[in-house]
Amino acid sequence: MERISLRSATSDDVGAIQECLVAAYADAKRDIDDLPDVAGGISDDIKERQVLIAEDA
């Protein structure tokens, strides 16, 4: 069984989080014309909220 560790996101993670979200919502983006920008505002979210990153341990 793989082990996963959690850590707080930093500004260095913004690009990777955006890439992950864009990939995750790619199918929905093609099918839903008015889908909001799911990858926007990540930098602000990291500053203002608790954002966690799951990584292989």
pLDDT over 70 (residue 56): yes
Handedness of CA 9, 10, 11, 13 (dihedral sign): negative
Average pLDDT over residues 15-25: 96
23-49 residue pLDDT tens: 999 999 999 999 999 999 999 999 999
Specify the pLDDT at position 1.
65
pTM of the model: 0.83
Instruction: Residue 20: give the domain boundaries.
Output: 4-56
Q: How far apart are CA 55 and CA 4, in angstroms?
A: 5
Tally of domains within the chain: 1
pLDDT over 90 (residue 6): yes
